[in-house]
Amino acid sequence: MKNNLINILKLSCIAFSIFILSKTISELLYQSIYARAFIKVDGKTYIVKPYKDISLKTILEQNGIAIGEYDMVSRDTNKPIKAFQTIKIIRVSKEQKKISEQFPFRVIWSKKYNSNLRKIELQKGIEKSIIKTISEVFYDELLHETIIVNESIRAKEFCRLLLLDKNGNVEKEYDLSKTKNIKMIATAYYPGDPLAWGDGTVTVLGQKMQRGIVAVDPKVIPLKTRLFITGYGYGYAGDTGNLIKGNRIDLGVHNAQEEKAWMHKEVTVYILEKSDTY
pLDDT level of residue 113 (50, 70, 90 thresholds): very high
| Mean pLDDT across the chain | 90
More confident residue, 199 or 50: 50
pLDDT of the residue at 201: 87
146: nearest Cα among 158, 138, 154: 138
- For 50-58, what is the mean pLDDT? 92
Residue 238: Cβ within 10 Å count: 24
3-state SS class at 23: helix
Q: Which residues pair with 37 in a beta bridge?
A: 48
Q: What tens digit of pLDDT does each residue of 173-226 get?
A: 999 999 999 999 999 999 988 877 677 789 999 999 999 999 999 999 999 999
pLDDT of the residue at 30: 46
pLDDT of the residue at 25: 52
Q: Which residues pair with 142 in a beta bridge?
A: 139
Amino acid residing at 106: R
**Residue 211: left (phi > 0), alpha (psi -120 to 50), or beta?**
beta
pLDDT of the residue at 8: 60
More confident residue, 20 or 153: 153
Cβ contact 161:167 at 8 Å: no
The pTM (predicted TM-score) of the whole model is: 0.67
Q: Can you list the alpha helix ranges (DSSP code H) found in the chain?
A: 2-33, 56-62, 256-261
Q: What tens digit of pLDDT does each residue of 55-69 get?
A: 999 999 999 999 999
Which DSSP state fits 211? Answer: B
Domains of the chain: 34-90 (3.10.20.90), 95-172 (no CATH), 180-274 (2.40.40.10)
Cβ contact 120:113 at 8 Å: yes
Decide if pLDDT at 98 tops 80.
Answer: yes
Decide if pLDDT at 170 tops 90.
Answer: yes
CA separation for the pair 83, 38 (Å, rounded): 9
Range name among 20-24, 26-30, 36-40, 86-90 with the lowest pLDDT average: 26-30
70, HSE (Cβ side, Cα atoms, 13 Å): 11
Q: What tens digit of pLDDT does each residue of 238-255 get?
A: 999 989 999 999 999 999
Query: Among residues of the chain, what percentage have pLDDT more than 90?
Result: 79
Amino acid residing at 271: I
Q: What tens digit of pLDDT does each residue of 117-139 get?
A: 999 999 999 999 999 999 999 99
Helix (H) or strand (E) holding 265: strand 265-274
pLDDT of the residue at 23: 59
